[in-house]
Each structure stands twice: as structure tokens, then as C-alpha cells.
Structure 1
């Protein structure tokens, strides 16, 4: 069944409704993960994409219940509004987790590109305000460094993303304090201990490779359990930024299943 955007109110009646898309094959086990997924769009998407997000669909095919939230569209792509709305949705999803999964379903947050930034920020906020509830975070080439000074980012022009990412950061960080807030730019966070375990993925020809791996290294140095995977150049990974499917999706599916298995122990 095709996943369609729908307005949904989750949690208390006072909670502001959110636009979400549900991916649910209905055949998962009582321990199947419940995943809040955040798509990309460089904080600039003007409208919700009509096509399904390939990664969200694939995670559901792996047996997860996946709720994709509209977090980087025109209505909510500014810090801190985007992060606060997403955290509220995660907390509400956690409160009714048994409705969508089972009694032992782990709660996860996942995101790609701009959505990966928000996922990382929400994971930090969850560590601070709902400790122990978020079991894992999945970061697929997250936008983490608003200064855009890594070595690999120089290749962004080759795939037509340099200006888009620069403009996206300017839009997201309209508030002057955003640049220095750890929830807005997780790569600048100096307190990473006890954040949820992470699966971090990128590719050798990915312009966001260096900041992605740098964050993975800092998480590991803080004692966080981290699984990192770097796909080889030419794997088609940068199709992630164009909502394109490719063989790299199989690698994401395998890494996700393996990561979830580690959370059971």
C-alpha cells in the first residue's frame, strides 16, 4: 500500500497535529523497532515530496514501523521550531509506542541530510529530557557543520549541492544563536556522553563524508556505541540527495537490521 501524507495528532489532545507518512507492512514482530524518520531537502523544500522516501520504505520492508515526519519543509524548517516539533512528535510517539509496535519495541530516530541534522539534535535533546527512552539514532550523511569547512565538502559543486546546502544553513539558522547551539549544529556539541547508540553511514565520494565521520568519531570518543559504514565511491550513494533508489539501499537495509540486532543485547 502506498504511503500518503496525512495530518495526525499523536499524544495529548493539546498536541499540535503533524504531517506524517506511515510505512507499515503489518507483518512485524512484537519487538519490531518503531522509527521516526526525517527526510532531506537541505532545509529548503518548498512542499512535501509526492514520492515516497526510499530509505523510509526500505526500513519498513525490514520489519520496522516507520513514521516519516515533515520536518524540513517550508512550514517548519527553521531552528529551533523544526527541532522542537520533531522532539514533541518523538515524545508523543514514545508515549503510544505499543500502539504501533509491541511491548518491547525499541524507539529509534533516523534521518538523511538535513533530516540527519535534526535527528542528531533530537537525540541530544532526548538524552537530556527523556533519558533511556530513545534506543538508537541512524544518521545518513547528516548535515552537521554550518561552517562547511571540511575537506570533502569541496566536492559538493560536482553534484550541484554546494549552493543549496549553503543557502539551507542560512535559512535554518536565521536566529543568531543557532550557529552556536549544540542542538542546531551537533558537530559543535561538547557533551556527547550517554546519547543513544548510533548507526552512521556515508560514502567515499560523498561531500558530507568528513563531517559525518568526524561526528561518529566524537561520539565514540565520548563512550557512545557507534557503528559506522562507508560505502565505496561509485555506489550511487549521493542519489540519497535526489530521492533516488539504488543498490546502496541494500547496504542501508543490512546495516539497519544488524544495528537493531545489537540493541537487543
Structure 2
């Protein structure tokens, strides 16, 4: 039984390893000639987080160091979410040659792009882990077991959400600009650099309640022990993830007949 299970998952693991290697090569090529290479990605994120935490920290209820970690966790997840949206508006339109050359199906192509996003997110996670181990080791604990279900949810939402975004932009080309601009507004409308815990009402209260991104940000912070575990956040995020997966699946089933350029 174990051997049968291994044979069933081995092709997917092999493809994932190959895609991660390709992602590394592509990321390295983007920083060709730079001494730090792919490390520029997490380094730039770290610098931006430091700036955000210094500028927007204004509450005595959260120490400066804790606010830095709060922003750090939120920002790297936000970058993953933003890339899922803005980086998926033209995948089918512009990555056909890559897919055909590598014998990829439509799901395979979107899986490859998902690995690209996970590679960047992983680099940021490594830098976050190093910072947390050195400066915030007292916060690391049993809450880390929540990372696996959290990771499964964001991977599923990113995969199906990316296809949904791409199909929408194919059917309605003007939505590409709407997605690009909308993500910029969503950054400020999400509790990335402002604390949702201090919100009791008003516009921020509405954004915290009705913005799905806020629940994913809250989950990420709960895995790091920054926020107390809240089951309702996970249930709402799970419902949002399920809705995205269903919508993405329906979009694929309804559109695969007119996307004939891929195997």
C-alpha cells in the first residue's frame, strides 16, 4: 500500500521539484550580475517592512518589535496574494510557448506559475523564520502546527483563484486594469500595516469584517503566535477558499473547450 501511494504521488513530487528548480533559475536570471542574486527579493521585503513598521506604529498596546513582526508576517502573505491576482491576468495569453515546449496542460501551466509564487513566498518565509528564531523565539510554539492547514488553504486558493482571474480577463479584457488598480487599493484596505485588533467600528471595522484578505492575514499571524487562535477566522477563510475552488473549477470546466492551444 505504501509503495502504491508513493508511485501515485511521485510524478507530482518530481514535477514540483523540477518546477522549483526552473523557478530558481528564472529568479537567478532576473538578478544576473548581482552579488546577492535571489536574496534581493527577501531583502527588499525586509527593508520595506522595517519602513512600514517604523512609520505606522502609533499604538502603545503593541510594542514596536511586536508590530514589526505583525507587519512582516502580513506583508509577505499580502505579496503572495497580490502576485496571485496581478500575475494571473495574462498567463494563458503569454505563456503558451512555455507550456507547449514543456508539454504542460492548462492545470500544469497554472501549477508551474503557482510554484513561482511559492518560491518567492518561501524565500520570504525563510527570512521571517530567521528573524523570528533570533529575535522572537519566545513567540514560537505549538501554534506553528497551524501552518500546514494554513499553507494548504492559501495554495488551493491561489491555484484556483489564478485561473479564475485569467479567464475573467480573457472574457472581459478591461478587467485586467481593474485587477491591477484594485490590488493597490486592497493593500490599504487590508490590515497589513494597521492592526485589526484595535478596530471597533467605522470604515476599518467594515474592512476587517467584509474583506476576505483580513481573515487570511489573521490566520498567518495566529500561526506565528502573534494573535490568539480564533476558530471563526479559520472557518470563514475555509469557506472563502472553498468558494474560490468551486468557482475556479466551474470556470475551467466551462472554458477548457475554447482553450485549444494547450495540450
Relative to the length of structure 2, the TM-score reads 0.27
| Structure number having the greater helix percentage | 2
Relative to the length of structure 1, the TM-score reads 0.27
Higher relative contact order (CA 8 A, sep 6+): 2
| Structure number having the greater strand percentage | 1
